[in-house]
Copies of this chain bind each other. A is one copy, B any other.
């Protein structure tokens, strides 16, 4: 790491202000935070001195003393990519109001790195928001999942899973009710007369698994023959992989009249594939997506999609964390999504 030497022009400390205001640094501390009994004029003098010196408290030191760092961490797969980054954006805003800074760590979708980060975070955070990596890289590594789970349990500070979760007793969870949302998507397509419905899915993180479950439940309830030939998985999270998966599925199961896509790249990929196969959306193929893809909606066809309530999720996550920091119980919160009906799905013809 870089040198420890302090910057040449040292930032003023409590002591400096105390010296300038001719009082003890304890008094400065009280005056500045407006706690305890401080004479009005003393307070005024302190404030003036602090202002003149451009004093700002050293949060690090305050944190050390308080046994709280005043800082929360988020461990996420990556910095970009909706809807997760939108959720974290809301979390960040909510925290701001409480005067708490959010420190962001990324696992880069690498489960080993994720585990290290978890350990690292431990010593310098009052709590962590956790969006675990998809298991693309964890397949066959149950040990890693186990170790991660154990680490979360032993964090010693509150952990709130956002968007997706691991099964860890004591951890909070805030995410979309994916099972219900997918159930409703399937029911909607069935109500439009579709009988052969394809589904594009991805890595087995909780959200993705639950979506598939909801979809299957709907198919079963509707008494529709549903077999694995209607299912295809993306091998990577790119639109090219989405297009390939869609192509495989549409070529194999030609009876399919509607398709459900589990995420952004599956959706874009499907639009690309449809184009390549000369299929019109929704004329030849109905499409219902999870999450809108604004660019597609703007220039191709307004997507019928599941809108996750990212604002509500972010707020609940922040609030739950604050609760847990005060000793509140970990809760598992499900936020309902909304099916936005536009033009990419139509009645079967």
Interface residue ranges, A against B (CB under 8 Å) = 1-7, 9-11, 54, 56-61, 63-64, 66-71, 78-82, 85-86, 88-89, 92-93, 96, 98-106, 108, 119-120, 122-124, 126, 154, 156-157, 239, 243, 268, 271-272, 275, 293-296, 298-300, 322, 325-327
Number of copies: 2
Distance (whole angstroms) from the CB of A244 to the closest CB of chain B: 13
CA distance A296 to B57 in the complex (A): 48
Cβ-defined contact, A60 with B56, below 8 A: no
Cβ-defined contact, A11 with B156, below 8 A: yes
Q: Which of B9, B99, B103, B322 is close to A104, meaning CB atoms less than 8 Å apart?
A: B103
Max chain B CB contacts within 10 Å: which of A78, A156, A271? A156
Distance (whole angstroms) from the CB of A49 to the closest CB of chain B: 17
CA distance A118 to B69 in the complex (A): 19
CA distance A4 to B57 in the complex (A): 17
Contact flag A89-B79 (CB < 8 Å), given A122-B56, A275-B299, A299-B275: yes
Looking across the interface, which residue of chain B has its beta carbon closest to that of A296? Answer: B295
Complex interface: chain B residues within 8 A of A58 (CB): 64, 123-124
Query: What are 12 contact pairs spanning A and B, CB under 8 A?
Result: A3-B68, A5-B67, A60-B69, A80-B81, A80-B85, A80-B89, A85-B85, A101-B124, A103-B103, A243-B298, A268-B295, A293-B295
